Each structure stands twice: as C-alpha cells, then as structure tokens.
Amino acid sequence: MHTSKTLDMTQGPILKLVVLFALPICAGNILQQLYNTVDTLIIGNFCGPISLAAVGTSGQPVELFLCIFLGIGNGVSILVSQQMGRGNMDAVRRLAGTATAFLYLCAVPLSVLGMFFGPMILRMMHCPADTWDGAVSYIRIILWGTLGNMGYNMNAGILRGLGDSRASLLFLLVSCLVNIALDLLFVAVFAMDVAGAALATIIAMFASWLFSIVYIRRRYPELAFKILPRTMDRRLLVRIVSVGVPLGLNNSIYSVGHILLQSLVNAQGAVFMAGCSVATKLTGLANVAINSFSSAATTFAGQNLGAEHYLRLRQSSRLIPLSSGAVTASAGLVMTLCCPLLLRLFTRDPQVLEVAILYTRIVIPMTWPFAIFNCMIGLANGIGEVRFPMVVNVLMLWVVRIPSAYLIARFISGRYLMAAFPISFTFGMCAMSTFFLSRRWREIRRLAQEESRSAAGAI
C-alpha cells in the first residue's frame, strides 16, 4: 500500500521517479560526506598530520566489523520494496519487527569483539608507530556507537524499501549537526584530539537512530514499529539472512581488500596516509550520485518485480546506469579542476597537499565507470540476484584492484598506487554488464515482451 509519504516507482516516467527518489539520498550523501569531512577539517587544523593519519587508517577496521550487518540492512530494504510492489503491508510490518529484533541481538557482541580485534587488524595493516595510539583510541571509542550506527542504517533501509528516501536526509541532518557541534566542543575547545572526534561521532549516531525511531512511529503508524520488539518471525529472518548475508559478505570482502590496500598506503608513511585521507573526502563529494542512484535502482527493481512490471525493469537497465555515470562524470570534472583550492580547506601542509592533489587527479576523472557498475548491481540486487554481483566484486577487488596496486607499488612507485582504482572500476563495469546476458535477465526480457504484446492486444 503506497501512501503520499512514499514514492510508488511502479507507475510514471522512470527517470523522473529515479531522480525524485535519488535527490534526497544525494543530499543525504553530501551531508554524510560533511559528517565525515568535519572530523578531517577540525583534526587537520587543530591537531595535525599524525592525528589525521590515525583517523584515516581507522576506518577500515570499523567498516570490517559492521559490513555484514549493514549488508543485512540492505537485504531488508530489498525485501520491503518487493512486498510494497505486491501491496502486502502485513509482510512489511513483520519484516520491520523481525529486522529490529535482530539488530539488538547483533549490536552488543559486535562492539565487544571490536574492542579486541580492532588493534589486531591495525597490526595487520602495518599501522605506523606514530599513529598507533590515536588509531586504537579512535576504533575503541567509535565501536561503542555500533547500536546507533546499525540502528540508523536498518531504519533508513526499511524506509527506502517503502519508497521514502527523504527520511534518510532528515536523519543525517540531525547526525551532522550534532557531530559538528560536538567536534568543535571536544576537539577545538577541550583539545581531546582523536578521542574527541570519535566521541562526537558516536553521540551523533545515537541521536540519528533515536530520531529515526520517532519518525517511523509517527509517520508510519501502520507499521506498528516497536522500540524493543519482543518476537521475530523465523521464516522472515531466514529470508532476510539469505538475501542480506551475500550482500554483507560482499561488503566484508571489500573491507578486507581495503585493509590490504591501506597497508600499502601506510607503508608510504604518515604524510602519504594523511594526503590520501584528505583526498578521499573530496572524492566522496564528487561521487555523491553513485549511492543515491544505485539505491534508487534497487528500490525501483524491487517494487517493479513485486508488481510484475517487467517492461519497466527492462527499460531501466540502460537508463538508470547511464544517468548515474553522466552525473558522476560531470561532478568529477568540476572537482578535478578545483581540487587544489578545495583541498587547502583540509590542510595547509604542502607535502600532504601534494599527495592529495595527485590522488584526486588520478582517481576522480575515472569514477564514472564505478557509477554505472553500482547501478547495475542495484538493479540485480533489487530482483534478488545478489550472488552474481558478489562474484564480480570479488574479481574486481582481488583479481584486479589489489594485484594492480601491488604491481604499481613494486614496479613504478608507491606514490601512484591509487591508479589501481580506475583500472578496477573499468573492469567492474565491463564484467557486471554481462549480467544482462544471464538466464535470469533473459527471463525478465521474455516476460517484458509478453507484457508488451498483452498491452498492444488490449489496445
């Protein structure tokens, strides 16, 4: 059952619906980048390159601990969108309750495990001695915000499946404002360094999660959303896990790969680490359309599969990925031209700036294939085909990106190892395009042809 608060993507112009759905997520992604960037700006200006490098190298261990569950959150979003396409609100209500109960079962154990294994992962990454204390402190504090982080992502996923992409923007706005205020207080005023930035982040996560609970309960009373659900539907939990675990494994494979790549970055020293950390903030801003269009593609595919609108699915297979690629290419061009000026907002250190500019000019102009690749993955995930994208991701990361980075560092120079990213983006786009030759997509095309003939006959 679609309401005025949700977007029905089973009717109307495809690109218009995708853009309407993607715009709030895109704005939210900008806020998310601002959320992440504030730490970098304040630490870079008030603490220095060592603290900047510590925060930059801490992201991968945290990502590794959360990736499986965040994938399950995306699986919930896919299942919700399919049930919305079918108009089965009772199933949506039970999905939301089961997902929330599962959240509480997972969050605390993940926080505890992170306390022990976070430092071990940093050792595997060859974290330099001068950044070790700051990195360990950041990880141990940030993981206490696991419940808030996962809770926000789960609730945002449920709402995306419903067709409500505006809610994520509101949640992120709350989080961003809280984070900025507390960053300034803890780091700039109280001089708490890396620990202050981590503490500000986890408080902001919990604020956003609690706001999302209030929002769902008030705006969607038909979901009967409970803060502490007492039961879960085991059958639905199996379905959530069967869809979400491959997505989570895909994320974990990426996280392990990023840890290996970060070890290469760390081997170049603290200045190179800081430069790469700064540059990733700018690349994130240039790529805000990628996640928003791919999320729109997933919800579009899920709703139209549930509604059995196969012709719309077929039409979207080129329109959505190419639109995302065009937007990303345009943003990348602007960021590349303006990068020297923009990067000076983060740091004034000339050596760090030199690395950041080099990274930006190598990576950003060739990110558009990654945008196309992600939208194709979004369409595949939306119809429940989560394993094919996982295989392509494994190949892209472990067969192309990581070996390319090691070869570049070994035979050319470690300064240029970021060139492995555009190489892998191009491979991923080409490999993922073969999904549209698969048996599953051939069946979609056949059903679309039947739907088209039936519509013509009715006329």
SS (H, E, C) 413-453: CHHHHHHHHHHHHHHHHHHHHHHHHCHHHHHHHHHHHHHHH
Measured CA to CA, the distance from residue 293 to residue 78 in angstroms comes to 15
Q: How many CB atoms lie within 10 A of CB 235?
A: 10
Element (H or E) spanning 240, and its range? helix 234-266
Asked if 419 and 404 count as a contact pair (C-beta separation under 8 A), the reply is yes
Q: 417 Cβ partners below 8 Å, 6+ apart?
A: 261, 264, 265, 405, 408, 409
3-state helix, strand, coil in the chain (%, to 5): 85, 0, 15
Q: Which of 372, 169, 172 is nearest to 287 (CA)?
A: 372
pLDDT of residue 456: 67
Give the distance from CA 192 to its chain's centroid: 29
Measured CA to CA, the distance from residue 146 to residue 140 in angstroms comes to 11
Q: Which of 432, 308, 326, 425 is nearest to 379 (CA)?
A: 432
Measured CA to CA, the distance from residue 149 to residue 145 in angstroms comes to 6
Asked if 172 and 31 count as a contact pair (C-beta separation under 8 A), the reply is yes
Q: Which residue has the tokens 């609108």?
A: 309
Please give the angle made by the CA atoms of 297, 106 and 36, to the nearest 5 degrees. 55
Structure tokens at 264: 């290469």
pLDDT of residue 26: 83
Tell the burial category of 23 from Cβ atoms under 10 Å away from its Cβ (0-12, 13-18, 19+): middle
Q: Which of 360, 285, 362, 371 is nearest to 321 (CA)?
A: 371
In order of 42, 58, 92, 179, the CA distances from 53 in angstroms are 13, 9, 43, 20
Q: Which residue has the tokens 């786009």?
A: 429
pLDDT of residue 1: 46
For 189, what's the count of Cα atoms within 13 Å in the CB-facing half-sphere?
A: 8
Measured CA to CA, the distance from residue 379 to residue 364 in angstroms comes to 24
Measured CA to CA, the distance from residue 152 to residue 171 in angstroms comes to 8
- Residue 87, SS3 per DSSP: coil
Give every residue of the chain whose pLDDT is below 70, as ranges: 1-5, 33-39, 60, 230, 255, 456-459
Asked if 42 and 124 count as a contact pair (C-beta separation under 8 A), the reply is no
Structure tokens at 90: 């009772």
Residue burial 418-448, b: 16+ Cβ < 10 Å; e: rest: bbbbbbbbbbbbebbeebbeeeebeebeebb
Helix 166-183 × helix 14-46 angle, to 10°:
10
Asked if 264 and 417 count as a contact pair (C-beta separation under 8 A), the reply is yes
Q: Which of 418, 409, 402, 398 is nearest to 357 (CA)?
A: 418
Measured CA to CA, the distance from residue 101 to residue 362 in angstroms comes to 44
Measured CA to CA, the distance from residue 90 to residue 84 in angstroms comes to 10
pLDDT of residue 311: 93
Measured CA to CA, the distance from residue 412 to residue 322 in angstroms comes to 34
